[in-house]
Structure 1
Amino acid sequence: MRIVKNNENIIILKGDTEKANYKTQSIVEYSNNPFIESLPDIFSEDDVIDRFSVTPRIEEEDKNREANLRYHIIKRAKNFVQPLPVHFKVERRLSTLIRRGYLARNPIDKSYLQRIRILNEIRDEGVYDNALIEGRMSNIRSTADSMAIIGISGIGKTTAIERLLLMYPQIIKHEEYKDENFSRTQVVWLKVDCPYDGSLSTLCKSFFKAIDDLLGTRYLEKFGYANRVTSTMMLHMTSLASIYGIGVLVIDEIQHLLNAKNDMEEMLNFFVTLSNTVGIPTVLIGTSKAQKIFKGNFRQARRAASEGAVMWDRMCKESDKWNFFLETLWDFQCLKENMALTDPIRNAFYDECQGITAVAVNLFILAQERALSEEKEKITVEILRDTAKEDLHMIQPMIKALRNNNMVEVMKYEDISINLDDISVNYKRDIELVGRLEDVFKERKNTIELKRRNIVENLVMDLSSIGIFDKLNNTEIKKIAEKIAGKLPVDEDYNLIKTMTIKSAMELNEKKKIDKNIKESKEDKKQNDGLLALYEIATKNKEHPYEVLKRKGHIKNPVDEFLMAK
Structure 2
Amino acid sequence: MTITQAIYHDAILPEHKGNPLIEALPPKIAWQVVMTVFCNYPDYAEEVSEHPNPLVREEYLNRIEELRQPLTDYESCFRAIERAIKKGYSAKNPLSPTTAQYLHYLVDERPEIEPRTGFFQPKGEGLTLIGERGVGKSSMLEQVLNYFPNVIEHDSYKGCSLTALKQVVWIKVDCPSNSSVRDLCEEILSVLDLSLDKEKTKPAGTIGALVRQLEQCIKSSFLGMLIIESPRVHRRPVCLSQATLPDSFKLS
Q: Which category describes the TM-score, using the shorter chain as reference length?
A: 0.7 to 0.9
8 Å CA contact 2:98, 2:119 repeated in 1: no
Matches within 5 A, 1:446-485: none
- SS of alignment partner, residue 185 of structure 1: strand
Counterpart of 2:73? 86
Counterpart of 1:45? 31
**4+ aligned runs moved over 6 Å, structure 1:** 133-138, 254-258
Q: Using the alignment, how far apart are the partners of 1:168 and 1:70 within structure 2?
A: 36
Matches within 5 A, 1:373-452: none
- SS of alignment partner, residue 130 of structure 2: strand
Matches within 5 A, 1:206-217: 206-217=187-198
Q: Using the alignment, how far apart are the partners of 1:255 and 1:264 within structure 2?
A: 14
Counterpart of 1:146? 126
Matches within 5 A, 1:476-495: none
Counterpart of 1:237? 214
Counterpart of 2:136? 156
Aligned-residue offset at 1:36: 0.3
Aligned-residue offset at 1:237: 1.4
Matches within 5 A, 1:2-13: none
Matched residue type, 1:115: Y
Residue 104 in 1 paired to residue 91 in 2?
yes
Q: Using the alignment, how far apart are the partners of 2:59 and 2:109 within structure 1?
A: 55
Aligned-residue offset at 1:174: 0.3
8 Å CA contact 2:152, 2:169 repeated in 1: yes
- Structure 2: which 5+ residue stretches go unaligned? none
**The one of 187, 190, 194 aligned to 2:175:** 194
- SS of alignment partner, residue 44 of structure 2: coil
TM-score by length of 2: 0.88
- Aligned pair in 2 of structure 1 residues 178, 75: CA closer, same or farther (>3 Å)? same
Aligned-residue offset at 1:69: 2.4
- Aligned pair in 2 of structure 1 residues 111, 135: CA closer, same or farther (>3 Å)? closer
TM-align CA RMSD: 2.6
8 Å CA contact 1:170, 1:190 repeated in 2: yes
Alpha-carbon deviations, 1:321-350, whole Å to 9, x = none? xxxxxxxxxxxxxxxxxxxxxxxxxxxxxx
- Aligned pair in 2 of structure 1 residues 257, 141: CA closer, same or farther (>3 Å)? farther
8 Å CA contact 1:194, 1:257 repeated in 2: no
Matched residue type, 2:175: C
Counterpart of 1:430? none
Matched residue type, 2:19: N
Q: Using the alignment, how far apart are the partners of 2:123 and 2:10 within structure 1?
A: 21
Residue 251 in 1 paired to residue 251 in 2?
no
**The one of 273, 286, 304 aligned to 2:247:** 273
Q: Using the alignment, how far apart are the partners of 1:118 and 1:254 within structure 2?
A: 34
8 Å CA contact 1:134, 1:273 repeated in 2: no
8 Å CA contact 2:151, 2:166 repeated in 1: yes
Q: Using the alignment, how far apart are the partners of 1:110 and 1:135 within structure 2?
A: 13
Of the two structures, which has the highest relative contact order with CA contacts closer than 8 Å and spacing of 6 or more? Answer: 2
Q: Using the alignment, how far apart are the partners of 1:55 and 1:40 within structure 2?
A: 24
Alpha-carbon deviations, 1:196-222, whole Å to 9, x = none? 1111111112112212322221234x2
8 Å CA contact 1:54, 1:80 repeated in 2: yes
Q: Using the alignment, how far apart are the partners of 1:110 and 1:234 within structure 2?
A: 25
Alpha-carbon deviations, 1:67-104, whole Å to 9, x = none? 22222210110122221111111111111000011111
- Aligned pair in 2 of structure 1 residues 109, 87: CA closer, same or farther (>3 Å)? same
TM-score by length of 1: 0.41
Aligned-residue offset at 1:61: 2.5
Alpha-carbon deviations, 1:479-500, whole Å to 9, x = none? xxxxxxxxxxxxxxxxxxxxxx
The 10-residue stretch of structure 1 (245-254 or 94-103) with the greater mean CA deviation from structure 2:
245-254
- Structure 1: which 5+ residue stretches go unaligned? 1-13, 123-131, 277-303, 307-566
Q: Using the alignment, how far apart are the partners of 2:141 and 2:243 within structure 1?
A: 23
Q: Using the alignment, how far apart are the partners of 2:135 and 2:211 within structure 1?
A: 32
8 Å CA contact 2:170, 2:225 repeated in 1: yes
**The one of 190, 214, 239 aligned to 1:264:** 239
Q: Using the alignment, how far apart are the partners of 1:195 and 1:63 within structure 2?
A: 44
8 Å CA contact 1:195, 1:256 repeated in 2: no
8 Å CA contact 1:258, 1:264 repeated in 2: no
Aligned-residue offset at 1:259: 2.4
Aligned-residue offset at 1:134: 9.5
Aligned-residue offset at 1:116: 1.3
Q: Percent identity over the alignment?
A: 24
Matched residue type, 1:215: L
Residue 26 in 1 paired to residue 12 in 2?
yes
- Aligned pair in 2 of structure 1 residues 258, 110: CA closer, same or farther (>3 Å)? farther
- SS of alignment partner, residue 4 of structure 2: strand
Q: Using the alignment, how far apart are the partners of 2:169 and 2:12 within structure 1?
A: 20
8 Å CA contact 1:33, 1:107 repeated in 2: yes
**Bigger radius of gyration, 1 or 2?**
1
8 Å CA contact 2:211, 2:245 repeated in 1: no
8 Å CA contact 1:197, 1:256 repeated in 2: no
Aligned-residue offset at 1:271: 5.4
Matches within 5 A, 1:104-123: 104-119=91-106
- SS of alignment partner, residue 192 of structure 1: strand
8 Å CA contact 1:188, 1:246 repeated in 2: yes
